[in-house]
Amino acid sequence: MDKKRILLYTLAFAAFAILVYMQFRTWRHFDWATFWKESGNLGRPPHIFHLFHAVALIYVAYFMRALRWKIFLRPVRPKASTWKLVGPTMIGFTGLALLGRPGELIRPYLIARKEKLTFSSQLAVWAVERIFDIGAFTILLVLAAFFATAPKRLAYHRSFQEAWLIFLALSVGLIIGALAVSRSGEALASWVERRFAHLASGLGHRIALRIREFRGGLDTIHNAWSFAMLAVVSVAMWATIAVAYKEVTHSYHNEDLEIPQSQVLLLMGSSMVGSVIQLPGVGGGSQLATIAALEHIFDVPKELAASCGIMLWLVTFVGVIPIGLLLAHREQLSLRKLSAESHQKEEEAVSPPAG
């Protein structure tokens, strides 16, 4: 394990420990009997059927991710198969769930190998994919914040609207930045390379390379029809995930967790923010952020909030692991080896030229 990865793990663990301590202070009178009772009910009908439905929806979302990547590949691999991309997609997310952030690059690395493309080209697609994710989720948030009636009943609705406007501004900024890179990416990369050439570790070269890669990723959107398809698939995917969240909360058959669909987006947002702090195999930030949102925004009792927060994480994030491991075993792939190889390829790509 390199020094950079050790530092990232240390920082993530420290942040996670602080969050756990803060949560523990508020749970001094936590009723474990209630927690286990609420969680145990999920293993019986009809509760478990809602959980199965939620897992199935999450798997549909993985298929949509593969379909979206196929659209990205159309200019260079017009005959790419969505079904053949499902395997690398699920294996990649399994690596992310088990290894944490070091597993993030497994998916673009596997797709590059399967489609016989350069790793840097798929890293570029991966970067552009993030913009579509943020944009699609922002669209759903804005629709819920300003047009749905359920969120307006929340005590913090005005504050949420302000936060969502900030999120919208961020999305618009990313789009404007992407357009600028698309039109003048090479000129910008050359300027950055010259401007920061004197800094250590080839920083100018690294940044310039990322700009060129990102521009190459934008080139995969070769016409307005492709953009429209990518946008529709992205919004549909995040809407599917939102329904999966709703199915998990509804599985408890508890009035405190009967959260309207438009409000469920708040849980998704809190989970996404919390996932920035993630430890290999155990997550951490995602669960705590979701539990805090349930308890403080939706006034769910802490025992029920803890059970639901953990179950949401298991269904939406960990649920891919069994199928992902099965697919990796069938192809005789080691997740740790794939992670190491992908990071080595990344380092080779960003290393400054000799001399």
Per-residue CA distances from 107 to 27, 77, 169, 313 (Å): 38, 17, 29, 20
- As a 3-state breakdown, the chain gives helix, strand, coil percent values, each rounded to 5, of 80, 0, 20
**Which of 243, 307, 238 is closest to 53 using CA atoms?**
243
Is pLDDT at 7 greater than 80 in this prediction? no
Report the number of secondary-structure helices (H) and strands (E) in the chain.
14, 2
User: Could you check whether the bond before residue 78 is cis, i.e. omega within 30 degrees of 0?
Assistant: no
Tens digit of each residue's pLDDT (9 = 90 or more) over 178-214: 667 666 667 766 766 666 666 655 666 666 666 666 6
Which range among 1-10, 181-190, 201-210, 249-258 shows the weakest confidence by mean pLDDT?
A: 1-10
| Distance, CA of 339 to CA of 104 (rounded, Å) | 8
| Distance, CA of 54 to CA of 42 (rounded, Å) | 13
| Distance, CA of 309 to CA of 94 (rounded, Å) | 20
Overall residue count recorded for the chain in this entry: 355
Which range among 43-57, 149-163, 240-254, 264-278 shows the weakest confidence by mean pLDDT?
A: 149-163
Is pLDDT at 113 greater than 60 in this prediction? yes
| Distance, CA of 246 to CA of 265 (rounded, Å) | 9
Which range among 56-60, 157-161, 272-276, 349-353 shows the weakest confidence by mean pLDDT?
A: 349-353
Report the pLDDT value the prediction gives residue 193, as an integer from 0 to 100: 67
Report the pLDDT value the prediction gives residue 286, as an integer from 0 to 100: 75
Is pLDDT at 355 greater than 50 in this prediction? no
| Distance, CA of 300 to CA of 312 (rounded, Å) | 15
Tally of CB atoms within 10 A around 228: 10
Tens digit of each residue's pLDDT (9 = 90 or more) over 295-311: 888 888 888 888 888 89
Tens digit of each residue's pLDDT (9 = 90 or more) over 64-98: 999 999 999 998 888 999 999 999 999 999 999 88
| Distance, CA of 253 to CA of 42 (rounded, Å) | 10
The helix (run of H) or strand (run of E) holding residue 284 is strand 283-284
Strands annotated E in the chain: 278-279, 283-284
**Which of 137, 101, 98 is closest to 4 using CA atoms?**
101
Report the pLDDT value the prediction gives residue 41, as an integer from 0 to 100: 72
The more confidently predicted of residues 127 and 63 is: 63
**Which of 67, 9, 89 is closest to 282 using CA atoms?**
9
**DSSP label at residue 353:** P
Tally of CB atoms within 10 A around 134: 17
